[in-house]
Every structure is written in structure tokens, then in C-alpha cells.
Amino acid sequence: MATNRFICEVCNKGFQREQNLQLHRRGHNLPWKLKQKTNKEPKRKVYLCPEPTCVHHDPSRALGDLTGIKKHYSRKHGEKKWKCEKCSKRYAVQSDWKAHSKTCGTREYRCDCGTLFSRICSLMGWLDVISTVLFAELSKSRGDTVHHLGIVVEEAICKPVPENGTPRH
């Protein structure tokens, strides 16, 4: 077991790292100072996405390791070589496909219209949209404008209502 090499001079509490002791000293209102990076420390290597339009092409949004940038490039810009036999969803990274294959079809929530969902909350959202559309069609036949859950429904198309309440066209 590691020893507590850094001891607080006020309460004798021990810490394995100097940084933890310095942060602890703040609680006693004692002066504390975290070590600052020096120019002598090597700079961390970052990996940029080669795709110029990608957000990870910018050095401030670079990824930290080679495996991460390879997977990112495959997922976002590469060919999707692996296909799920159950649902036909395609993947560019084999490990993503394997993970998906383990759970695909194990949780199914089916709408009466035949649409499948893997999450109950997705089905509930879908049912809300469908009920809104059906309600709108019924109301439209009577000449009403329908407001349902902050959405104006016109001709079975859901559009967000602006804050001033005037529908967009």
C-alpha cells in the first residue's frame, strides 16, 4: 500500500500526492500553490482529422490518441463495411458493429403501424407525434388550427411554434 508522503502541518492528514495536499490546505485558509506547467515539459501530441470540413480538423478540437482519430475518421468519413443481419444498420468500425449485434433485437417496442424502436422513450415520442397528426387531420376537416404540446400542426406536418405564438409557414 502506498504511503502518505505529504502531510498537512495543521491537522496531520496524509496525502499520496502533493496536489491533493495543496487542495486540502485551501480548507485551512493556508496559502497553497499548484505546480504550473513548465516549458520543459513535453507538449502532448494531438491528432487532427484530415477532413478539412470536420470540427476535429481544428487543433483546439483535436483528439488525443491515434486510435481515437482512426475510429473517428472511420465513423464520420469512412465506408460502412459491417452490416447488422437483423436490422440492416451499417457500421464503419467493427467493434461498434459487434457491440450493436449483441443487443440488436433484444429490446423491441413496436408501434401498431409496424415501426420498431429499441427504447421505450422513442416509442412514446413517436406515439405523441402520431396522435398529434391524427388529431390535426380530424381538426383540419373541421377547419381548426391545432396547437398541441407547443407544436402547430398543419397538413400533417409538425412545425415548432415561435415564442410569439405565430406559426411559421
Summarised one tens digit per residue, pLDDT across range 47-80 is 899 999 999 888 888 888 889 899 999 999 999 9
At residue 153, the pLDDT reads 43
Position with higher pLDDT, 103 vs 146? 103
- pLDDT tens figures, 108-128: 788 888 888 877 888 888 888
- pLDDT tens figures, 124-148: 888 888 888 887 777 777 665 555 4
At residue 53, the pLDDT reads 93
CA distance 106 to 167: 41
